[in-house]
C-alpha cells in the first residue's frame, strides 16, 4: 500500500454515540484513529450485541451512502450522541 505523503493528517471527526447500521443492528462509535501504514482515517466502533469486539472501518466507508432495497441509505446513522463523552464510549 502506498503511504499517504500528505504532511497533514485527516482531522475529520465523528460524534461518539450509538449508530444504527442500515440493516438494523446498533453500534457504538468510540472515536477515530489512523491506520499505522497508510495514515487513513478509521472509525473505531463495537456492536451493541454479542461479544462487543472492537472493529475499525475506513471513515469514508463508515459515512457512505449506498443503495439498499431500492432506496438510498446511510451505512450508519447516528441515533444517540453522547453529550458527556468522557463517561460514555470508554474502552473499559
pLDDT at 4 > cutoff 70: no
pLDDT digits (tens, 9 = 90+) for 19-75: 999 999 999 999 999 999 999 999 999 999 999 999 999 999 999 999 998 999 999
CA distance 81 to 86: 13
What pLDDT is stored for residue 9 in this prediction? 86
Structure-block grid coordinates of residue 23: 440493516
CB 68 within 8 A of CB 59: no
Measured distance CA(63)–CA(69) in Å, rounded: 18
Question: 34 vs 90, which has greater pLDDT?
Answer: 34
Joined together, the cell numbers standing for residue 18 give 450509538
Sorted by where each begins, the domain ranges of the chain are: 17-81
Indicate the CATH number for domain 17-81. 2.30.30.320
Amino acid at each position: 500500500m502506498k503511504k499517504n505523503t500528505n504532511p497533514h493528517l485527516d482531522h475529520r471527526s465523528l460524534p461518539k454515540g450509538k449508530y444504527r447500521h442500515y440493516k438494523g443492528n446498533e453500534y457504538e462509535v468510540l472515536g477515530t484513529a489512523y491506520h499505522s501504514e497508510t495514515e487513513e482515517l478509521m472509525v473505531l466502533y463495537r456492536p451493541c450485541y454479542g461479544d462487543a469486539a472492537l472493529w475499525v472501518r475506513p471513515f469514508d466507508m463508515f459515512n457512505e451512502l449506498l443503495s439498499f432495497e431500492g432506496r438510498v441509505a446511510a451505512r450508519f446513522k447516528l441515533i444517540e450522541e453522547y453529550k458527556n463523552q468522557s463517561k460514555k464510549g470508554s474502552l473499559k
